[in-house]
């Protein structure tokens, strides 16, 4: 075992693991040390009980409850690992390591207008961010069909919802809604790559600052394997270098990201 002065995986008790909508679940973990350290936009590694599933599953921290020493995670079933998580029951233990990543950057006394943009399972980390950001907040979140986390987000600002099938809110994707409403502000975004690409273009066109939270397949989550790279602008022959999403990100300035 690692000595007490060294960090290691923590066996966390599952306080709650409930179904939200469709394939989406929320897990609440008892882990005071992670809750103390974590900031908005960071993620944790969850490890499967199944011995054949070796790699960590990186999941963003949706909400941090520092008082009770808990973190909330919202995840969608995407494959075997997340399906395994959904089968866990209250009181069970799960191995967790983190928090990892740089998180969103903002000054605590920050008062400017912000535009918070999420797509699908990119939405969860925006809840903690919306909670912590001051100033006027406009929140735009897009889903394939059934939205989630909307009530929580509404506590912190005006929320616009888009759905691909038009079943709730605006029919279409989030960038189309941004265009239509002409929304402005400093952008914080997390979601699938095509959405982030659109957000970057929108930010460019309207001369807005933007921070984008990216996703990539990870081998370790803490910078050990250089597996999770993304292209970042640099003065090289090709115009970019590869940076680690887990350590240098997951949040990058939109200007640095090469899609």
Partner 1 sequence: MNLGINIAGVELKNPIMTASGTFGSGREYEPYVDMNKIGCVVVKGVANVPWMGNPAPRIVETYGGMINAVGLQNPGVEVFIEEDIPFLRQFDTKIAVNLAGRTIEEYVAVASRLATADVDFLELNISCPNIKEGGVAFGIDANMAMKVTEAVKKVAKQPLIVKLSPNVTDITEIARAVEAGGADAVSLINTLIGSRIDIHKRQFILSTKHGGLSGPAIKPVAIRMVYQVASTIGLPIIGMGGIMTGEDAIEFMMAGATGIAVGTANLLDPCATMKILDEMLIFMQNKGIENINDIVGIVN
Ligand X SMILES: Cc1cc2nc3c(=O)[nH]c(=O)nc-3n(C[C@H](O)[C@H](O)[C@H](O)COP(=O)(O)O)c2cc1C
Footprint of partner 1 (CB under 8 A): 1-3, 6-9, 47, 51-56, 97, 216-220, 222-231, 236, 238, 241-242, 247
47-53: long-range contacts, CB 8 A cutoff, minimum separation 24: 47/9, 47/94, 47/95, 47/96, 47/97, 48/81, 48/84, 48/85, 49/84, 49/94, 50/80, 50/81, 50/84, 53/80, 53/81, 53/84
Q: What is the DSSP letter of 101?
A: S
Q: How far apart are CA 134 and CA 90, in angstroms?
A: 34
Q: How far apart are CA 61 and CA 67, in angstroms?
A: 16
Q: State the sign of the Cα–Cα–Cα–Cα dihedral 88, 92, 96, 102.
A: positive
Number of residues interacting with ligand FAD: please give it, by CB under 6 A: 21
3-state DSSP percent of the chain in helix, strand and coil, to 5: 20, 35, 45
Shortest approach of partner 1 to residue 120 CB, angstroms? 17
- 216 is a site residue for ligand FAD (CB under 6 A): yes
User: Taking CB under 6 A as the criterion, which residues in 73-92 touch ligand FAD?
Assistant: 74-76, 78-82
Contact with ligand FAD (CB under 6 A) among 35, 96, 115, 121: 121
Q: Smaller CB distance to ligand FAD: residue 55 or 176?
A: 55
Q: Smaller CB distance to ligand FES: residue 125 or 142?
A: 125
Binding pattern to ligand FES, positions 199-218, x when CB under 6 A?
-------------------x
Q: What residues contact 235, with CB distance under 8 A and at least 6 apart? A: none
- Do residues 213 and 41 touch, judged by C-beta distance below 8 A? yes
Shortest approach of ligand X to residue 39 CB, angstroms? 28
- 153 is a site residue for ligand FAD (CB under 6 A): no
6 binds, among ligand FES, partner 1, ligand X, none (CB under 5 to 8 A by kind): partner 1
Q: Smaller CB distance to ligand FAD: residue 43 or 202?
A: 43
Kindly report the number of other CB atoms within 10 A of residue 181's CB atom. Answer: 12
Give the residues across from 70 on adjacent strands.
Answer: 30, 65
- 239 is a site residue for ligand FES (CB under 6 A): no
Kindly report the number of other CB atoms within 10 A of residue 29's CB atom. Answer: 24
Question: Which residues of the shown chain bind ligand X in the complex (CB under 6 A)?
Answer: 219, 225, 227
User: Taking CB under 6 A as the criterion, which residues in 169-188 touch ligand FES?
Assistant: none
Shortest approach of ligand X to residue 69 CB, angstroms? 34
Kindly report the number of other CB atoms within 10 A of residue 251's CB atom. Answer: 23
Q: Smaller CB distance to ligand X: residue 172 or 227?
A: 227
Site residues (CB under 6 A) for ligand FES?
A: 218-221, 223-228, 244, 246
């Amino acid at each position: 075992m690692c000595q007490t002065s060294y960090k290691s995986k923590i066996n966390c008790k599952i306080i709650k693991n409930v179904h939200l909508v469709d394939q989406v679940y929320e897990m609440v973990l008892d882990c005071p040390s992670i809750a103390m350290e974590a900031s908005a936009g960071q993620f944790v590694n969850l490890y499967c009980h199944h011995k054949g599933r070796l790699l960590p599953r990186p999941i963003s921290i949706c909400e941090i409850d520092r008082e009770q020493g808990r973190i909330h995670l919202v995840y969608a079933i995407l494959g075997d690992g997340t399906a395994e998580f959904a089968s866990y029951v209250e009181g069970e233990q799960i191995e967790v390591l983190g928090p990892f990543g740089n998180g969103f950057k903002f000054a605590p006394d920050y008062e400017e207008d912000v535009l918070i943009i999420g797509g699908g399972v990119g939405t969860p980390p925006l809840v903690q961010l919306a909670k912590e950001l001051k100033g006027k907040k406009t929140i735009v979140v897009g889903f394939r069909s059934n939205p989630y986390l909307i009530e929580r987000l509404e506590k912190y600002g005006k929320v616009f919802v888009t759905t691909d099938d038009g079943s709730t809110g605006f029919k279409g994707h989030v960038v189309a809604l941004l265009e239509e409403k002409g929304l402005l502000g400093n952008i914080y975004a997390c979601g699938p790559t095509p959405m982030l690409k659109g957000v970057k273009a929108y930010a460019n066109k309207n001369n807005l600052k933007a921070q984008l939270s990216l996703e990539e397949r990870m081998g370790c989550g803490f910078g050990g394997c250089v597996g999770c790279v993304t292209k970042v602008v640099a003065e090289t022959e090709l115009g970019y270098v590869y940076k680690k999403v887990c350590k240098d990100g997951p949040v990058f300035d939109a200007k640095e990201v090469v899609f």
